[in-house]
Chains A and B, each alone.
Chain A
Amino acid sequence: MTKKTIIQFDHVAKRFDGEIILKDISFAIERGKFYTLLGPSGCGKTTILRLIAGFLEPSEGTITFDGRMVNKIPPNKRQVNTVFQDYALFPHLNVFENVAFGLRINKLTNKEIEPRVKQALHFVNLDGYQNREIAELSGGQKQRVAIARAIVNQPQVLLLDEPLSALDLKLRTAMQVELRQLQRRLGITFIFVTHDQEEALAMSDEIFVLNQGKIEQSGSPRSIYDEPINRFVADFIGESNIIPGTMLKDRVVSFAGKTFDCVDQGFDEREAVEIVIRPEDLEIKPHGEGLLQVRIESQLFRGVHYEMIGKDEDGNSWMIHSTKSARIGEEIGLFFEPEAIHVMRHGETEEAFDRRLESYEGAGHD
């Protein structure tokens, strides 16, 4: 464990009434970074958050905070604060008293409290709101008060439990930017829980993709998007075309009845694999050109781009994102770069995946 590590999970498992919520989870959280726990509902991401906050105790394994085992430390004794999904602002207190709550608990004097509350409100762009009642606030303002109430206590780690899910799209996008900036300014660790992959990609230094109580993959948004470890991650993060294929040899893969150059290696000869190509990496060419021929079956206008579904001669479906449109029933060619092909090995663990990637990407890969 390095000095940078603030929270460490060692083989943590959690069961409720015999039902396994988390199975054998290990990871380390570093100081001053923005982490996102991403996964579908029921994947255990909120359970991890509640274990860190102290609302739950692990069934097995140890949780260390700042080098100290904290399995049995109650929430009110931890240097962690939470922004709750429903904000949980106290309705009988005004904005100032809500933010001051933690400071009053710590028996600070009014003289010490006032500047700190004002500063916290300033941080979340709510100057002058201290005398408002909670019921008078909009959703976005409540959100900010909840954040101010948490950061005023200067926690080492701030936990955010799907805090943006109740906001409309525009406000949500604005809050994503604000949260990211706030984290940089405060320099503390944020652990953000969401099921929204766009949110995760936009905000995080590091993403943990969770599924059924396991961490499927962890890494930077870029590496998770570009090099998903398996079908679940590829499917959950962004749109993907996942096609069965065969690895003929290093840097040569065959799928859809054709052979293509790619950049992946370290597979067995003729190993059955799955390949991923993102819809935005497919380029539309006139019929007969390109690497693959497909017939367009449906088309949707998405605003920024058209979303088309095409079928190749082998019967594989291809989702294409393009600013160019095509006619339904039209035969078109598809072109993609060798780098756009990502090859996934069946049942590969995260460690083995990382080792294989490092073996040929060398120092250039992060």
Chain B
Amino acid sequence: MTKKWTNTYLIPYVLWIGLFVVAPLAMVLYYSFFDIQGHFSFENYLRFFTPIYLKMAISSIGYAFFITFFTLLVAYPTAYLLTRMKNRRLWLMLIILPTWINILLKAYAFIGLLGTYGPVDTLLAMSGAGRRQILFTGSSFVFVSVYLFIPFMILPIYNSLEKLNSSFVEAAYDLGASAWATFRRVIFPLTLEGVKSGCQAVFIPALSLFMLTRLIAGNRVITLGTAIEEHFLVTQDWGMGSTIAVFLILAMVVVMALMGKGWLKRW
């Protein structure tokens, strides 16, 4: 009786997973085996290993790596400072607040800020550095992405720092460790789980960015995400787009296996 009921409760979940996770994945996999004329072939997979796509893959991973790295660089000290603040809840709230705003809105805001004759451009001109192209460069893409991802990195790190027992820090001091040695040998290793889940939360979405790439980087940055978009919407080569998506999914699984001690192992 009870078992039957439990199974009934599962129906919405199974339906959801089936329709919106398993079916699309299966379709992506299915389409990846058809060339542009609609014939079954492995050609797409062979094409992926040509220099043009490999370069794209490397550039995607490279950008995702830089974005994750700089996000971590900003987020860790911020999270650490947060744990020592008096009004942590308020500060944390302020950090989370921007995530409630639509990503497109934020992207357009940055176009305004970084564009020609925008405030940043004007400021540079006034300071004597001269006008230069800021928007539609790789670095502005990384900058804006880092800005968008910072809250997702801060939260897990903040949580793990909060959980860190302060007596570990005291014990390290007591045993003669300097502030830096305490951080390197005790605080950082004990918050590594938070760092890992933060990196995961940033690296994986960063790998498949395409809208932001288009808006901020223009045509300067071509990643797997923008390539998929191109194949589906412009060249109509759904097969190749699906193939790239398959590789992207594989890359994500690899990242999760490397980073996450968490859910993958539990399965």
Contact = CB atoms under 8 A, between A and B. Distances in A.
A and B associate in one complex: yes
Interface in A237-279: none
B68 to A, nearest CB: 23
A304 interface: no
Interface stretch (A86-94, A121-129, A325-333, A358-366): A86-94
Nearest to A97: B185
Contacts of B167: 84-86, 88
Given A90-B186, A91-B190, A92-B189, A102 B168 contact: no
Contacts of A77: 176
A321 interface: no
Interface in B166-213: 167-168, 170-178, 181, 185-186, 189-190, 192
B235 interface: no
Nearest to B167: A88
Given A153-B175, A153-B176, A84 B170 contact: yes
A105 B170 contact: no
B45 to A, nearest CB: 42
Contacts of B189: 92
What size tier do the contact residues of chain B reach? 10 to 19
B173 A105 contact: no
Nearest to B179: A76
A81 B186 contact: no
Nearest to A149: B175
B152 to A, nearest CB: 25
Given A90-B186, A92-B189, A55 B171 contact: no
A75 B170 contact: yes
Contacts of B99: none
A86 B190 contact: no
B190 A76 contact: no
Q: Is the interface of B mostly helix, strand, loop or mixed?
A: helix
A8 B192 CA distance: 42
Contacts of B181: 105
Interface in A66-96: 74-77, 80-82, 84-86, 88-92
Contacts of A90: 168, 171-172, 186, 190
A103 to B, nearest CB: 9
In this complex, the member of B172, B174, B190 whose beta carbon has the largest number of chain A beta carbons within 10 angstroms is B174
A336 B42 CA distance: 104
Contact of B170 (A88, A101, A106, A150): A88
A77 B171 CA distance: 13
A53 interface: yes
A88 B165 contact: yes
Contacts of B176: 76-77, 102, 105-106, 153
A88 B168 contact: yes
B118 to A, nearest CB: 47
A90 B184 CA distance: 13
Interface string A147-178: 00110010000000000000000000000000
A101 B182 CA distance: 11
Contact of B174 (A76, A86, A92): A76
Given A90-B186, A101-B185, A74 B171 contact: no
A47 to B, nearest CB: 14
A106 B177 CA distance: 8
Contacts of B165: 86, 88
A101 B190 contact: no
A149 B189 CA distance: 19
B168 to A, nearest CB: 6
Contacts of A101: 172, 175, 177, 185
Most chain A beta-carbon neighbours within 10 Å: one of B165, B176, B178, B185: B176
A88 B171 CA distance: 6
Contacts of B175: 76, 81, 101-102, 105, 149-150, 153
A165 to B, nearest CB: 14
B174 A81 contact: yes
Interface in A101-148: 101-102, 104-106
By CB atoms of chain A within 10 A, which of B167, B181, B190 has the most?
B167
B106 to A, nearest CB: 38
B171 A105 contact: no
Given A86-B167, A88-B165, A90-B168, A53 B177 contact: no
A77 B167 CA distance: 18
A88 B165 CA distance: 8
A53 B189 CA distance: 25
Contact of A82 (B171, B185, B186): B171
The 3 closest A-B pairs by CB, nearest first: A102-B175, A88-B171, A88-B167
Given A88-B171, A101-B177, 9 more contacts: A74-B173, A86-B167, A90-B168, A90-B171, A90-B172, A101-B175, A104-B185, A153-B175, A153-B176
12 contacts: A55-B170, A75-B170, A75-B173, A75-B174, A76-B177, A82-B170, A88-B167, A88-B168, A88-B170, A90-B190, A91-B190, A106-B176
Interface of B: 165, 167-168, 170-178, 181, 185-186, 189-190, 192
Interface of A: 53, 55, 74-77, 80-82, 84-86, 88-92, 101-102, 104-106, 149-150, 153
